[in-house]
Amino acid sequence: MTNIPPVAGGKVFFNADTVTDYHYGQMAACNIDSGAEAWHVGPTPLAQGGNPAISIPRNTIFWPEGDGNVWATDITTGHVKWVFHGGYCVMGATAVASSMAVDEERGWVLGAADTGRLFVLDMDTGALVKEAYLGVPSWQPGNEQPVSGFYFPGYSAIALVPAQGIFYISGTDYDRAWKGQFSRGREKLFCYNYVSNSTTLTQLWEYQFLGPEWYPPPYNANKSPEYIVKGHDPYQVAGYSLSSPALVDGHVYYGSWNGHVYCFGDPY
Amino acid sequence: MKGRKFLLISVMALFVVTGLYAALLVPETGATDYPWPSWRHDLQNTGAAPDSGYPTTLKLLWDKTRPNDPFNIKPSRCTTPAAVGNNIAIFTGNDGIVEARDQYTGELIWSKLYLWLDAPPAPAGAPADWCQGSDPDISGSNLGICGYKINGQCPSWCYECSDTPFDCSQVDLIRGLDLSGVGLGVFVSAATIDLEASPPRVYFGTMDGRFMCLNLLTGESLWSGTDDGGTTPHPWREPWRAPGGPNVGRPWYDQKFAWHLSPPSVYNGKLFFGSFLPSFYSIFKQFPFVMDANNHPIASWPSFNTNYKMYWVGRDGWTYCANKDTGDILWSWDPGG
């Protein structure tokens, strides 16, 4: 159990990855006082999904899994309301490792897959409202899924600002990922508008983190201040761990693989 | 007399300056208007900020270098989410560094360093062939080669088997996590800030099985006592050792500890947090393309011997509920692993 447990309605919810064996998953609800299990859904084919989010008005928990699906489940009964396939990255054997975020007023739940796909879903039906690919501003609905050139969030979670219709998420570049532990990738923080366009999401800005203290000259094809995120071998379940932005008083806080911490926004 | 008066004035001036400095360092309580006290923001994990005014164009306000990773002597890598409350931003990460910074200026208020604890003692009772028949590596120089034949046959999941039995005495059952004694910082989970407590607190876990509660303002430890009977001046709790906890009485009790990789939730005086199952041997093993004789998948993280008996030095993966004032375990739940 590697997620932060959400709490609602006298229950605490656990998205576990130790059912049957290491790679199966389940979502379970326990009584908050006694720990008695109220219900569980699963086992699911692959664990190590992202962190769930809850809509209290809709009495629903949305939980992403390692098989690429997002599950919407009634928090009282454990009844599965709908399932949406967000995407599965074969190279990394990971899927929706990023966490869900809820825009209650618009009735949307947002997610991101390790295929680079950003998606906005209708919370009541699971229908796809709009989509885009992280770090590929030129992508438009109807285009093929990018096979290269995109970023993906790993365990980095979306941080949402419903009042402005924007969110922040970090990612590392797919083209340098899963080439082995000694291959390092880039790290960027992105800001997206998820409201203004009816079919896709609009990238507003990005910031690339550099690590000159970790990777000083001389540089070569694999050693550069921009290559800072530790790699993994291919075809194994090894999710990428990036920090997640925190949003406070109009400012974005973020810590990077480069050993720096940042605050984005206007002067206080 | 004149000298004493000068000394008195100097001491008083020092107090005033020190007091002013302390006042500048200790943030005003509750001044953060819209805190983000933990990963995912709130108990429902909405991941949504309730206010507005966030940057829609790139505006970097400050960039601060973290304290050095004690092993590499380079800025400590931050791979965990920040938490911000009470004017303080908390950052953790890979290298044992926990730091508190001023929300507005980024200036360092306090920092802590946690090194890996000493490795657990070697488990008694492991048979001589505990590592033989283990699953193959799928990368590196031993690509696809298993430890040895099982019942005279090279298992179907191995590309080939070595000709001679592997000498398990050459392999440390806990080698993968024997990271103590070399000055290596332990992974520190993301933190959760508790603004309802007085003084406000910060909670987090470590990859070597500890759980901490610190004063958010000063970094001082708030829970007392340790579960191993130690007398460290900076105590922590170890949920896997909890009296009446999930591991008591189980084989190789002393080698079991859980990785705490996520921040806890705090609700109604209780902490809720999970753990990650650590099977210490073979933590660097690969994806389990491992099937048993009946073509049923079996986990590859534990090692197994020539009778398919699996050896796990540590195993936890439980979920815990603790009293937030003491760290005492109130209940634990096994997800069924």
| Three-state secondary structure readout of A44-82 | ECCCCCCCCEEECCCCEEEEECCCCEEEEEECCCCCEEE
Among A23, A191, A268, the residue with its CB nearest the CB of B288 is: A23
Measuring CA to CA, which residue among B222, B180, B182 is closest to residue B201?
B222
Residue pair A8/A54 in contact by the 8 Å Cβ criterion: yes
**What are the tens digits of pLDDT across the range A3-28?**
566 777 787 777 766 544 456 777 88
Contact A26 B336 (CB under 8 A): yes
Question: What is the mean pLDDT of the segment spanning A170-191?
Answer: 94
- How many angstroms separate the CA of residue B282 from the nearest CA in chain A? 13
Q: Calculate the dihedral angle through the C-alpha atoms of A250, A255, A256, A261, rounding to the nearest 10 degrees.
A: 90
> Cα distance from B334 to chain A (closest Cα, Å)?
9
pLDDT at A51: 84
Placement of tokens 């059952």 in the chain: B173
Q: What is the pLDDT of residue A76?
A: 92
Where residue A136 falls among pLDDT bands split at 50, 70, 90?
A: very high
* Distance in Å, alpha carbon of A75 to nearest chain B alpha carbon: 11
Q: In this structure, are residues A95 and A68 in contact, taking their beta carbons and an 8 Å threshold?
A: yes
* Secondary structure of chain B in HEC code, one letter for each residue: CHHHHHHHHHHHHHHHHHHHHHHHHCCCCCCCCCCECCCCCCCCCCCECCCCCCCCCCCEEEEEECCEECCCCEECCCCCCCEEECCEEEECECCCEEEEEECCCCCEEEEEECECCCCCCCCCCCCCCCCCCCCCECCCCCECEECCCECCECCCCCCEECCCCCCHHHCCCCHHHCCCCCCCECCECCCEEECCCCCCEEEEEECCCCEEEEECCCCCECCCCCCCCCCCCCCCECHHHCCCCCCCCCCCHHHCCCECCCCCEEECCEEEECCECCCCCCCCCCCCCCECCCCCECCCCCEECCCCCEECCCCCCCEEEEECCCCCEEEEECCCC
Subunit contact B319:A253, Cβ cutoff 8 A: no
What mean pLDDT is predicted for residues A54-64?
A: 92
Residue A2 located in a structural domain: no
Q: In the sheet where B83-85 sits, what is the strand order? A: B83-85, B88-91, B97-102, B108-113
Q: Spell out which residues of chain A touch residue B78, defining contact as CB-CB under 8 Å.
A: 243, 255-257, 259-261
Determine, yes or no, domain membership for A28: yes
Query: If you average pLDDT over residues A65-92, what whole number do you get?
Result: 91
Interface contact flag, B61 A267, Cβ < 8 Å: yes
The size of the A-B interface in CB pairs under 8 A is 307
Higher per-residue pLDDT: A206 or B131: A206
In chain A, whose CA is at the least distance from the CA of B76? A259
**Is A30 within the bounds of a domain?**
yes
Check CB contact under 8 Å for B54 and A193.
Answer: no
CB contact under 8 A, B54 and A266: no
**By residue range, what is the domain housing residue A258?**
11-264
Query: What gap in Å lies between CA A16 and CA A4, rounded to an integer?
Result: 11
Residue A14's pLDDT is what?
74
Report if residue A6 sits inside a domain.
no
CATH code where residue A80 lies: 2.130.10.10
How would residue A232 be classed by pLDDT, with cut points 50, 70 and 90?
confident
- In angstroms, the separation between the Cα of residue B256 and the nearest Cα of chain A is 16
Note whether A164 contacts B44, CB cutoff 8 Å: no
| Statement: residue A39 has pLDDT above 80 | yes
Over chain B (337 residues), what is each successive 10-residue block's mean pLDDT? 44 43 44 93 91 98 96 93 96 95 97 84 70 54 55 66 68 54 84 95 90 95 79 79 70 65 86 67 33 39 49 58 90 69
pLDDT value of residue B78: 95
pLDDT band at A237 (very low <50, low <70, confident <90, very high): low
Nearest to B40 among A51, A243, A261 (CB): A51
Give the model's pLDDT for residue A16.
66
Dig out the tokens for B216 from the structure.
Answer: 């958010």
Residue A3 in domain: no
Residue A4 lies in a domain: no
Examine residue A5 and state whether it is found in any structural domain, yes or no.
no
A260/B61 touch (CB, cutoff 8 Å), yes or no: no
Number of domains composing chain A: 1
